[in-house]
Structure formats: C-alpha cells, structure tokens
Structure 1
Amino acid sequence: MQTSETDTRRGLFLALGAYAIWGLVLPLYMKALNHVSPLEIVAHRIIWALPFAALILVHQGRLAHTLRYFGHLRTLSLAALTAVLISINWGVYVYAIVSNQAIDAALGYYINPLLNVALGAIFLRERPSRLQGVAIALAVVGVAIMTIKAGGLPWIALVLATTFGTYGLLRKLVKVDASEGFFLEVAILFPIAIGTLAFVTDVHFGAIPYETVMLVIAGPLTAIPLILFAAGARLLDFATVGILQYTVPTMLFLTAVFLFGEPFGFWQLVAFAFIWSALVLYAVTLIRQAREERRRRRGASTQGGAQFPDPKTDA
C-alpha cells in the first residue's frame, strides 16, 4: 500500500511538472520571443527537439528499435498525420501567445476534453453518459456566445481543440509509446522545419546571442513536458489525470489576464461560465467512473478470493 501511495505522489509530481511547463513556463517563454516570427519559433522547436528526443531514446536503449519504424509504412503514415496536427497546434498556440490572444488559447484547451468525448463517440463508438452529453451541449453554448457576442468565431480555440483532440485520437492508433512517437513526429517534421526557415525574412537565430539560446532551448522545452506527462500518467488513475489537465488552461487563463493584461469582457465571462460549468459536469463523470472502477475491482477481488463448493463433489 505504501508503494502505491508513493507511486501516486510521484505521478502527481511528474504530471504537475508537465502542466506547470505547459500552462505557465511556455506562455511566458513564448511571450519573451513575441518579436520573433511564430514560424521561426515553431521551426526551432522542432529542430532542437529532435536531438533531445534521440538522446532520451539512447538513454532508454530504444533508439535502434524506434528507427525500425521508418520501414513500417502504416506506423510512419499515422506518425506523419499526427506530426502535421501537432505542428499546426504548436504554430497556432505560439501565434496566440505572441499576438495577445492567450485567452482564446486557454478556451481551446478547456474545450479539448469535451471534444475528446465527442470524438470518442463518433469514431470509437464510446457512448457518452448523460452528464457528458449535457457538458458538451454547455460547451457548444459557450462557443456560440463567444461567436455571437464576444467578437467573432474563436478560431484559435477551435483549431487548438480540434488539432489536439484529433492528435490524441490518432495516437491511439499508433502502437508506439510517448517518447518513440514524439521522436518519429519531430524526425518527420525536421526537413520541413529546415525548409520553413528559408521563407522567414526577418531571421533572429544567430543575430542576438540570448535569442539564439532561447530558440535552441525551445526544443527541449517542447519535449520535457511530454515526457513528464507520459511518465506521470502511467502512475495515476484516469480520473486524476482528467481533472488535473484543467490546470493548464487555468494557469494560461490567469497568466493572460493578470500578467499579459489581455482584455476580458462581460460576454467572454458569460461564455467561460458555460465552459467552466461543462467542465464541472465532466469532472463529476470522471469521479463517478473512477468509483465504479474501484468497486468493480473490489468485487472481482472478493469473488476471486471466495471459496465456492465444487458441484461435482457435492453430487
């Protein structure tokens, strides 16, 4: 029991570390690079993430095994799709931060868990509960209010939620673990990132030392939270991971309003109120699912340990 509690605490620490980087460190980091083209930032995130991801696989003794996937057409095709989706997600995220639209980015990551439920229902035939259905409906109302009353369609939020949700759906089909999948994705994107830099007119890399260093560090800063999250998620139950993921958009939202000083009007507040209400309902469903799973396991354990009479012997 003590080992289980220790693992849970370790998983919590690892997951919160990932969420802190995603929700606080990365926004502040990207904001410090707000005079650099988003294309150049994303390109360098990919370029410098590749050697870091390779070093991790070398440390795990799995680089040679991972390289074999380049001869597996189905795995490589799916990895190419997930690579395109995650690069779009990174690009829109960086654009949102540097263009003072971090609130919309936070909205996107609030919507994402609910979109995952919808995608699971459509493509994986995972039937949502009644509360989850109500939560999705509330989220749709929130987006509609943002569209009609708060200044137009929140395209940044929708693109971030859609790309990340579809990315997660496709990653279920790629039978590789987190570090291997990340390496395949950045390896596929590497030549595209190199080519993209040729189209950036105002190149900052190499011009000023501290900017050059920041662009290089953007690579490991992209990889580290993914690895921390993958390690933490393995030690935590599904409900805990599901509820903890709200810390990312919450930190991003608070950073946008109180540190970046982005405007947050009345109709935005109303729209977010619908989204937050939807997330409360979704969290309730996760907690219920976790309780039912624990009950099921206890029941299975009890039945497994019970002694039943042998009907042949009694006869």
Structure 2
Amino acid sequence: MSEAQQQRHQQGTAYGFLAYLLWGVFPLYFAILRPAGPWEIVAHRIVWTLLLCAIVLVVLRDVRWVVDLARTPRRALGVAGAGLLIATNWGIYTYAVLSGHVTEAALGYFLNPLVTVALGVLVLRERLRRPQWVAVGLGAAAAVYLTIDYGRPPWVSLALAFTFASYSLLKNRLGITLSALRSLAGESLAILPIAVVILVWLGSRGETTFLGEGTGHTLLMVSTGVATAVPLLLFAAAASRVPLSTVGLLQFLTPVLQLLIGVVVMGEHVPGSRWIGFALVWLALVILTVDMLGAAGRSRRDGRRAAAAAAAEEAAQAETAAQTPAEDAPRDPDELDESLGQQPRCP
C-alpha cells in the first residue's frame, strides 16, 4: 500500500469511526429534546434536514438531478419508499429512546446485519455460505428466546432491524445510486408532506413544543437537521475510502455505545436471563464477521492472482511479438528480385 493509499485508508477509518460514534450517542441527544414527542422530533428532523441539504446543493449548484429524478417515476417512487422506511425507522428509534427502551433499540441494530442477510436470501435469492446460515439460525434462535423472556416479541428490536434492512434492500434492488447528499435530500423531499401533516396535526391539538419551550429547545429542534446529515456524510466519505469489511466492523460501535448508554447512563435494567439472548446475537455476529473477513481476504487474493496472471500473459505476448519478425517488414531488394526469378540488381 502506497503512502497516499495508507493516508486515504486512515482518513476513511476516522470518518467511519466518527459516523458510528455520533449514531451511537444519539440516545443522549434525543433525550434532551424532551418534552417533544417522537413524531414531532421526526417531523422536524425531516424539515430541517431537507432545508440543510437544499442550501448545500444550491451552493454547490447541484440541483439538476431533481428534475432528472422526477422524469423517472420508478426511481422517484423508490426514493419515496426509501424515505418512508427510514422515517419509520427514525420514529421507532426515537420512541424507544424516549420511552426507556434504549437497550432494546441497541439489540435491533445488533440484529440488523443478520436480518439483511436473511432478506438477501428471501428476496434476492442469494446463496449463503454455511457460516452465514449458522449466523442467521443463531439470530432466529435469539429472537425466539427473547420473545419467551420478554413474554412478547421484542417489537422495537425487530422493527428497527427490518425497517433499516428493508431500506437498504430497496435501494439496492432499484439501483438507486444517488450520492449521500442527494439521497438524503430526495428522501426528505419525498416525505415532506407527511412531516407537514404531523406538525399541523400536533399544532391543532396543542401538542407541539417547537416554540413553547424556550429558545434553547427551539435551537435543539433545528439542530436535528445537522445531527441527521453530518453522520451520514461522514459515513459516505468513509465508504469511498475503506473496504466494506472495515465498514462492517465499525458498524458494531453504534449498538455497543447504545447498549452502554442504556444500561450505565439511563439506568435501564437488563435481567440476567436477557443477556443470554444478547450473547446468542453476539455469537452470530462473530461468525458472520469472521466469514465476511475470510471472504474479503479470498477475494483480494483472487484479485491479486488474476492481476499477476494477466501481467504474466501480457509479458509473454510482448516477448513473443519481439521475437517474431513482422510480416510486413521490408525485404532485401536482391532477395525480392531472386524470388521473382529476375536478375539481381547491379550495385
């Protein structure tokens, strides 16, 4: 790895670490947005995120893509569907934080990679390697165990895992390849009407807190746009600089921090029996991660072998070409005359 590549990799790792760190401390951020409820927070998050993205895009003079997107209904509907899924995910997560279910939310993000793999099989008909089957099986066993332990399915965990995995799947399936900034702007624009309806409805019931809890609270609500956009842009910068395997490892920082905040900072009680369910999920993730790293290593080795073989073949072809006289090379005039049965030319 060259010095420039190493520096790029280090930058990408730092960006990824910061992105997942910020996502990991979201429970602390959303907790200080009280007394706003989860849907008011989500609505403001949509509005201020869209406004921030719009300002940046206008400054960059990057707005033509909106017209192009509107002219392709399939992609536009895909962006709208993705926006609806991610907004639902935001709402469930905010509800979990404000209602004292941070540890259950953390479990959802631990489950997310396993649900993503499972949806790949069910929807995309992907073929799994044996370790992946084992990991998915352990994840399913953990869900069953926790259902028994809770006395109900862990709805918050499952809803978070499935909405985010479905969001990723939809974007992959429809080939939505917008940049992070464009994607966030497009999704926010698509679901803006929902945010407006929520705010109008809350206002009609006298339940909005935006202007009624002081300047500090108002500024905090406005800051939800920055809090949404910055980690996503950091993640996009990381994903373009480091291998997917590195991003896959960094992603576990978020639920680990959420779990620690839920237990240590917010004082949520986790019975001893429930840790067994967490342990099953962690074991599944270890298996999945080891398999992912092994597959990435094999892919890199195969790539190096293919590159080496191509280089060797190219060198052999060049050597052969150098040793073989060119067919159209000019011949000696005397030899040419003799070959035609003529007398040699006089010197």
TM over 0.5, shorter chain: yes
CA distance in 2, matches of 1:19, 1:61: 29
**SS where residue 176 of structure 1 aligns?**
coil
Match for 1:205 among 210, 213, 217?
210
Moved more, 48-57 or 92-101: 48-57
| Contact persistence 2:35–2:209 (CA under 8 A) | no
1:228-307 correspondence runs (5 A): 228-306=234-312, 307=315
What code does the residue aligned with 1:100 have?
G
Q: Secondary structure at the match of 1:126?
A: coil
Q: Which moved more, 1:104-113 or 1:202-211?
A: 202-211
CA shift, 1:60, in A, is: 4.1
Q: 1:32 to 1:151 in 2, by over 3 A?
A: farther
Is 2:100 the counterpart of 1:100? yes
Q: How many Å separate the matches in 2 of 1:259 and 1:187?
A: 35
Pairwise CA distance, 1:59:
4.4
Distance in 2, matches of 1:65 and 1:41, equals: 28
Q: Which residue of 1 aligns with 2:330?
A: none
Counterparts of 1:74 and 1:2, CA distance in 2 = 43
Distance 2:177 2:248 in 1: 22
Name the residue aligned to 1:223. 229
Q: Distance in 1 between matches of 2:81 and 2:186?
A: 11
Do the aligned residues in 2 keep the contact of 1:44 with 1:218 (CA within 8 Å)? yes
Once the two structures are superposed, residues 103-154 of structure 1 have per-residue CA deviations (whole angstroms, 9 ceiling, x without a partner) of 1110110010111111112222321111111011111111111100234210
SS at match of 2:267: coil
Query: What is the aligned partner in structure 2 of residue 124 from structure 1?
Result: 124
Separation in structure 1 between the aligned mates of residue 155 and residue 255 of structure 2, nearest angstrom? 16
CA distance in 2, matches of 1:138, 1:257: 24
* 8 Å Cα contact 1:146-1:267 kept in structure 2: no
CA radius of gyration, larger in: 2
State how far apart, in whole Å, the 1-side matches of 2:125 and 2:177 are: 20
Aligned-pair identity in percent equals 36
Structure 1 counterpart of 2:189, one-letter code: A
Worse-superposed segment, 84-93 or 221-230:
221-230
Report the number of matched residues: 313
What are the residue-to-residue correspondences of 1:14-93 with 2, within 5 Å? 14-24=15-25, 26-93=26-93
Report what 2:183 is aligned to. 181
Preserved contact between residue 50 and residue 189 of structure 2 (Cα < 8 Å): yes
Structure 2 residue runs without a partner (length 5+): 325-347
Structure 2: distance between partners of 1:149 and 1:300:
51
Which consecutive unaligned segments of at least 5 residues does structure 1 have? Answer: none
Whether the aligned pair in 1 keeps the contact of 2:249 and 2:289 (CA below 8 Å) is yes
Partner amino acid, structure 2, of 1:279: L
Deviation at 1:288, TM superposition (A): 0.3
Task: Specify the SS of the correspondent of 2:216.
Answer: helix
CA RMSD of aligned residues (A): 1.7
CA distance in 2, matches of 1:66, 1:179: 12
- Per-residue CA deviation, residues 21-79 of structure 1 (Å, 9 max, x unaligned), is 1111x211101123211111000000000011123323444222234312221111111
